[in-house]
Amino acid sequence: MVLKNEDGYELWLRYHLVDDAELLAVYRQQIREIVFPGDSPTLRVARGELQCGLEGLLGHEVMLSESVTEDGAIVCGTPESSAKILEQKLVDLDTVGDEGYVISQQVVDWHQTIIIAANSDKGVLYGVFAFLRLLQTQQSLDGLHIVSAPKVKLRMLNHWDNLDGTIERGFAGHSLWDWHKLPHYIDPRYTDYARACASIGLNATVLTNVNANALILTEPYLHKVAALADVLRPYGLQVYLTARFSAPMEIGGLSTADPLDADVAAWWKAKVDQIYSILPDFGGFVVKANSEGQPGPHDYGRIHADGANMLADALEPHGGICIWRAFVYDADVQEDRAKQANSQLVPQDGTFKANALLQVKNGPIDFQPREPYHPLFGAMPKTPLMLEVQITQEYLGNATHLVYLAPMFKETLDADTYVKGPGSTVAKVVDGSLDGHDISGMAAVTNIGDDRNWCGHPFAAANWYAYGRLTWDYTLSSEQIADEWLRMTFSNDEDFVDTIIQMMIDSRESVVKYMMPLGLHHIFAEGHHYGPGPWVDGIRPDWTAVYYHQADAEGVGFDRTASGTDAVSLYNPPYRDQLANVDTCPENLLLWFHHVSWDHVLKSGRTLWDEMCLMYQEGVNEVRQMQQTWETLEGKIDAARYMHVKKLLVVQEREARWWRDACLTYFQAFHGKPLPEGVEPAEHDLDYYENIVHYYVPGIPERRFDKIGTHS
Ligand code: GCV
């Protein structure tokens, strides 16, 4: 059978006819009517989703009924919206809080039914999506009893979308938000965006770039924001904006933005009041301050907490929150960048207002292919810390490399800070349980744009999906999430799913190998970060590559032990001791923490140089393996998506070779050692690689190029 071509627009919400005839017959028996009273906007969209999903999956319309009239009813609602749910007195509802749900087979009015119940309309919506997921992934409904609640309260996407429609570090087209046509024209795609987010439990979205434009806070733009919020609200998505710290000067006519200035505080209060008068359920602000040229409290000799608290004060009467980013480092400060956030923020622990949170990147530098967990986790027990990850592949091959990020997100969440003994994981810091915080959250920089398939690479949507699922339940395994996503996105063919799960799981480690093995970091091309640039030098040191790899004739790596910057001391024993010793430091972080001789012998018995070479080669080999694996699956999915992935894998293999050759040629020049057996020689000399220039790489604002070079 030839499968119909698909363009990926439906994401994982494809409600195609269940293709297992036996199972379909069983489902048709088990699902015969829907009892779903209630008329709130959220219940309406939940009911619509259920009807539409079932119609597609079962191949016929399932009728709405006022009461349970036969076996096979699906009864949905809250104890308020549905008399039947109230009658059932489901004890499990007491455990699922505001947003969780219960899906359970029950006898109602002497009939076999499936109940989808929650304490809130939003919970019902999440339950509906979870139920549809069961059918999409062809699970048995027999004996169904699912009790589920999110582990983290704020489950947020951060769009780095600019008001001119570009997206910082966006590789899938332009911004979804059509500010020019808003508020009068509402793109139907906003609804599909909201559906996708709600289906994986996301409940908050920051519409604008953290490198913020104050214009978004002006009245005309606020009306545009409100129109968008009207579409997102029924799906439980609360809208947040980024606040430019200097807005009082840029749009308020003040001469200062000093957070301790009474006029500045009054301006923000009035601005926040205005926002809430236009958008009563506004979530609050996300702020990047005194980082990479953004204005902030340091400009006035104040500290981060002064800035955050001023905004938190303005938001507090409306129930809003201020999320302050901990991605702070300063070009004029000599201290190791990996330590600067701790130096600045740890002394301020306990001084932030109750409605202020700190948003901390997964690692201390900047979303590198591999970083140790950020040492702020565990170091600020009095402040709720959100985890920020990056879904968009700024440092992972943009939208041309197939890299499944769940293993990377989980690596951080599962990392043990040991701050209160073994088991003090980053996840427990983030969900608030370790230090008893009520408020908790995760944020991710999205990879969503207006490309027809939303995220560019057909597999990139898996990372949006995986992130959402992990915010709901970070104990899910990467394999389980990949399994769900593949079944819903492509096919339930067991062979296809089993084969591709493994390929997805391995893909993160492959990209680390061909880009930055053994703890190397930040050796990207300058500015756009597309491709290798281990030679980058001559700009502010903490944006160069040479600052991070410190290669010389003797060795390579950043000494962050006591003999170097001592960043290792920010971690707690026993992990600290493990990291500090070159013999016990995990080899995948070796060059992050140590400057190591090229001849240093690793666990494999090979020297560092040989091991590095072989890892780069292995990365390339693994991409070739991915190509072969993918090609065995021709015909198991539609030809359009099959070919799209196949062609992108060709690009990925080419770029993996580019990484290997550019980096090894560069490092080899320090010591002249030969490549070990099994490593393919580079096609070109170092000069060639250093002179590769790419113009207009997506994801950065257009700028004039000042160098004409080899266009690879
Ligand atoms: C939005 C990195 C990126 C920047 C980004 C910054 C941040 O440095 O390269 O584009 O700016 O992180 O997270 O604020």
User: Ligand 1: which residue has its CA nearest to atom 14?
Assistant: 210
Instruction: Say if residues 70 and 33 touch (Cβ distance below 8 Å).
Output: yes
Evaluate whether residue 112 is within a structural domain.
yes
Q: Which two tokens stand for residue 469?
A: 């699922």
- Whether residue 570 is contained in a domain is answered as no
Residues with catalytic function: 292, 366, 394
Taking the C-alpha atoms of residue 190 and residue 432, their distance in angstroms, rounded to an integer, is: 32
Q: Is 327 close to ligand 1, i.e. is its CB under 6 Å away?
A: yes
- Decide whether any atom of ligand 1 lies within 6 Å of the 542 Cβ: no
- The last residue of one of the domains, among 86, 121, 148, is 148
CA 390 to ligand 1: nearest atom: 13
Please report, for residues 383, 439, 507, the alpha-carbon distance to residue 94 in angstroms, rounded to integers and kept in the order given.
28, 20, 41
| CA nearest neighbour of 201 among 438, 412, 446, 467 | 467
Task: Please give the C-alpha separations between residue 535 and each of 369, 526, 559, 620, 687, in angstroms, as whole numbers.
Answer: 18, 10, 19, 21, 11
Whether 2 contacts 46, CB under 8 Å: no
Asked whether 522 lines ligand 1 (CB < 6 A), one says: no
Q: In terms of domains, do 144 and 283 share one?
A: no
Q: Is 471 inside any structural domain?
A: yes
Residue 15 in any domain: the answer is no
Domain co-membership, 536 together with 460 = no
Nearest atom in ligand 1 to 211's CA: 1
Both 637 and 549 in one domain: the answer is yes
pLDDT in tens, 440-469: 999 999 999 999 999 999 999 999 999 999
Q: How far is the CA of 243 from the centre of ligand 1 (A)?
A: 16
163 and 189 in a single domain? The answer is yes
β-bridge pairing 73-77 and 111-118: parallel
User: Which residues constitute the domain of residue 536?
Assistant: 512-558+595-690
DSSP, residue by residue, 525-543: PTTT--SB-TT--SS-GGG
Same structural domain, 658 and 672: yes
Whether residue 567 lies inside any domain: the answer is: no
Q: Is the CB of 388 under 6 A from ligand 1?
A: no
Paired tokens of 22: 């036996």
Q: Are residues 417 and 522 part of one domain?
A: no
Predicted local distance difference test score (pLDDT) of residue 702: 55
Question: pLDDT value at position 330?
Answer: 87
Indicate if 461 and 540 belong to the same structural domain. Answer: no
Q: Does the CB atom of residue 526 touch ligand 1 within 6 A? A: no
Which of 421, 449, 475 is at the close of a domain? 475
pTM score over 0.85: yes
Compute the distance from residue 217 Cα to the ligand 1 centre, in Å.
Answer: 21
Domain identity same for 76 and 167: no
Whether residues 551 and 441 fall in one domain: no
CATH value at residue 600: 3.90.1330.10
Give the pLDDT confidence of 157-210 residue by residue, as tens digits: 999 999 999 999 999 999 999 999 999 999 999 999 999 999 999 999 999 999
Which atom of ligand 1 has the smallest separation from the CA of 394? 9
- Give the C-alpha distances (Å, rounded to integers) separating 525 from 515, 534, 615, 680, 694: 12, 7, 20, 23, 10
Give the CATH number of the domain where residue 328 resides: 3.20.20.80
| Alpha carbon separation from 4 to 21, 74, 133, 448, 640 (Å, rounded) | 19, 31, 22, 25, 9
Is any ligand 1 atom within 6 A of the Cβ of residue 161? no
**Is the shortest distance between the CB of 210 and ligand 1 below 6 Å?**
yes
Do 144 and 159 share a domain, yes or no? no
Give the count of alpha carbons within 13 A of 359, CB side only.
27
Q: Among 160, 208, 291, 292, say which to mutate for ligand 1: greatest number of ligand atoms within 8 Å of CB.
A: 292
SS3 of residue 371 by DSSP = coil
Same domain, 178 and 89: no
| 288 CA: nearest ligand 1 atom | 14
Top mutation candidate among 166, 167, 169, 206 for ligand 1, by most atoms within 8 Å of CB: 169
Question: How many distinct structural domains can be found in the chain?
Answer: 3
- DSSP β-bridge partners for residue 246: none
Please tell me whether residues 241 and 107 are part of one structural domain.
no
- If you measure from the C-alpha of residue 204 to the centroid of ligand 1, how many angstroms do you get, rounded to a whole number? 20
Mean pLDDT, each 10-residue run in order, the chain (712 residues): 93 98 98 98 98 98 97 98 95 97 96 98 98 98 97 98 96 97 98 98 98 97 98 98 98 98 98 98 98 96 98 98 96 91 98 98 98 98 98 97 98 98 98 98 98 98 98 98 98 96 98 98 94 95 95 98 98 98 98 98 98 98 98 96 98 98 98 98 97 90 55 48
* CB of 126 sitting under 6 A from ligand 1: no
Q: Does the beta carbon of 700 sit less than 6 angstroms from any atom of ligand 1? A: no
The CATH number for 127's domain is 3.30.379.10
Of all atoms in ligand 1, which is nearest to the CA of residue 700?
Answer: 10
